């Protein structure tokens, strides 16, 4: 399969991930319209139910390893999530909160398959895109779908909520997710990679991620980046909102557009870098940009520019993480690794948002400075391992043997 399959994958990914990206905004608008008492609190609880079950990623990941055809697992998860949104929308404000939480929690249960699980179906997972450059270009486009969905979906929800209703906006997202889930079935079949796939367990995945130094570093930095960037986005939005609602909107828009621009640049010119080395550099760059945002936080225009740069660097960070999950994992574990890391990444993002809320009293600029410092220190903490690997690689190379072309 070539680029035709990649295009089909990208269309399905944008449709499915738009549902995931727009649901949080839609819930806030829906609760504002329908819930009379503490609508923001109710929206927060429903959004928490939507994201909480992403932590089940490590438990559901082996399903991909055992499946005869991974497409059906991912598609079924998408249908489950779409049904949860479709059923959960009309019950908000009419059912007791405890009952209304159930369909949104079920929608969240499909989340890990819509992030990492869907990425595992990209043609590069089987090497079908050919050379490394083409593989990483496809991964860059996969990363681009996250940025595109995060930019398009909230704007579409706001537009539909204004011209129609917030409930209709969420139902449109459910329809988008259903269409994307059915589109997944049109992708080329991804079968079991080996005869041992039927025995893949969560313990196998955890053992691989812990024992192998390269994947361990990449996964740790993936989760650190998710935590600090999500916390920074909430902090930056609140900081800009102090200057006015329009300024807050510019910060969010700049972040999304930066991610889209970064993904497009990477698709045109793929990265040629060792994955764990690149992750260390990209994580350090995230921390540096966060520190810069802390310095210029009082100026909304410079803050928006800083978050645009943050979105661009995050696109590189996401690409390297996705590539590492595919290239540094055994074929029979790759799908499970995608789901495990992706599900936990969402959980870390949610934790970062919660931590930013608790730390709001410190002041936005101080919080951004702390986040930048934590991110840079995380990169520095993993750098020695990358350096040792490079030195061992040079030592192991026989004299007179040149570096292999990449």
Q: What is the pLDDT of residue 77?
A: 92
Q: What is the pLDDT of residue 259?
A: 87
Q: What is the pLDDT of residue 194?
A: 45
Using a cut of 0.85, tell me whether the model's pTM lies above it.
Answer: no
Closest of 299, 303, 216, 292 to residue 254, by C-alpha: 303
Q: What is the pLDDT of residue 52?
A: 75
**Domains (range + CATH), the chain:** 1-183 (1.20.1250.20), 198-396 (1.20.1250.20)
**d(Cα 285, Cα 309) in Å, to the nearest integer?**
10
Q: What is the pLDDT of residue 227?
A: 92
Number of CB atoms found within 10 A of residue 383's CB: 17
Structure tokens at 380: 């520095």
In this predicted model, what pLDDT tens digit does every residue of 203-228 receive, in sequence order? 777 888 888 788 888 889 999 999 99
In this predicted model, what pLDDT tens digit does every residue of 30-89 receive, in sequence order? 988 888 888 877 887 888 888 777 776 667 777 776 777 889 999 999 999 999 999 999
Q: What is the pLDDT of residue 53?
A: 72
Residue 215, CA distances (Å) to 126, 206, 222, 335 in order: 18, 11, 10, 14
Q: Are 60 and 339 in contact (CB under 8 A)?
A: yes
Question: Residue 247: pLDDT band by 50, 70, 90 thresholds?
Answer: low
Q: What is the pLDDT of residue 129?
A: 46
Q: What is the pLDDT of residue 242?
A: 66
In this predicted model, what pLDDT tens digit does every residue of 154-197 receive, in sequence order? 888 888 988 999 999 999 999 999 999 999 999 887 655 444 44
Question: Residue 282: pLDDT band by 50, 70, 90 thresholds?
Answer: very high
For 356-406, give the DSSP string.
Answer: HHHGGGG-HHHHHHHHHHHHHHHHHHHHHHHHHHHHHHHHHSPTTPPPPP-
Rg of the chain (C-alpha set): 21
In this predicted model, what pLDDT tens digit does every residue of 326-357 receive, in sequence order? 777 787 777 788 888 888 888 788 788 778 87
């Amino acid at each position: 399969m070539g680029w035709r399959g990649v295009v089909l994958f990208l269309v399905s990914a944008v449709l499915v991930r738009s549902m995931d990206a727009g649901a949080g905004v839609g819930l806030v608008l829906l609760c504002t319209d329908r819930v009379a008492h503490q609508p923001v609190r109710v929206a927060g609880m429903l959004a928490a139910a939507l994201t909480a079950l992403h932590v089940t990623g490590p438990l559901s990941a082996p399903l991909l390893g055992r499946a005869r055809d991974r497409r059906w697992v991912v598609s079924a998860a998408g249908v489950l999530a779409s049904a949860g949104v479709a059923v959960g929308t009309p019950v908000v404000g009419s059912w007791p909160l405890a009952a209304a939480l159930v369909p949104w929690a079920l929608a969240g249960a499909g989340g890990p398959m819509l992030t990492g699980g869907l990425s595992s179906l990209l043609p590069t997972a089987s090497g079908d895109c050919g050379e490394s450059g083409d593989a990483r270009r496809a991964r860059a486009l996969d990363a681009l779908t996250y940025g595109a969905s995060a930019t398009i979906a909230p704007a579409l929800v706001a537009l539909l909520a204004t011209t129609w209703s917030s409930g209709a906006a969420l139902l449109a997202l459910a329809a988008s997710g259903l269409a994307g889930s059915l589109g997944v079935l049109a992708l080329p079949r991804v079968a079991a990679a080996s005869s041992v796939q039927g025995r893949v367990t969560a313990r196998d995945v955890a053992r691989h991620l812990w024992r192998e130094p390269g994947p361990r570093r990449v996964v740790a930095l993936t989760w650190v980046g998710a935590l600090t960037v999500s916390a920074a986005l909430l902090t930056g939005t609140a900081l800009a909102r102090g200057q006015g609602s329009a300024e807050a909107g510019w910060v969010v828009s700049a972040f999304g557009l930066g991610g889209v621009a970064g993904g497009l640049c990477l698709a045109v010119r793929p990265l040629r870098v060792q994955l764990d080395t690149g992750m260390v550099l990209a994580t350090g760059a995230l921390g540096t940009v966060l520190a810069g945002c802390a310095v210029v936080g009082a100026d909304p225009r410079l803050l928006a520019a800083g978050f645009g740069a943050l979105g661009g660097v995050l696109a590189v960070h996401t690409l390297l993480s996705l590539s590492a999950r595919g290239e540094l994992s055994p074929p029979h574990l790759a799908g499970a690794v995608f789901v495990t890391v992706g599900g936990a990444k969402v959980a870390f993002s949610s934790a970062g948002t919660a931590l930013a809320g608790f730390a709001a009293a410190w002041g936005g600029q101080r919080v951004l400075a702390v986040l930048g410092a934590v991110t840079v220190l995380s990169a520095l903490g993993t750098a020695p391992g990358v350096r040792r690997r490079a030195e061992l690689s040079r030592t192991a190379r026989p004299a007179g043997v040149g570096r292999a072309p990449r």
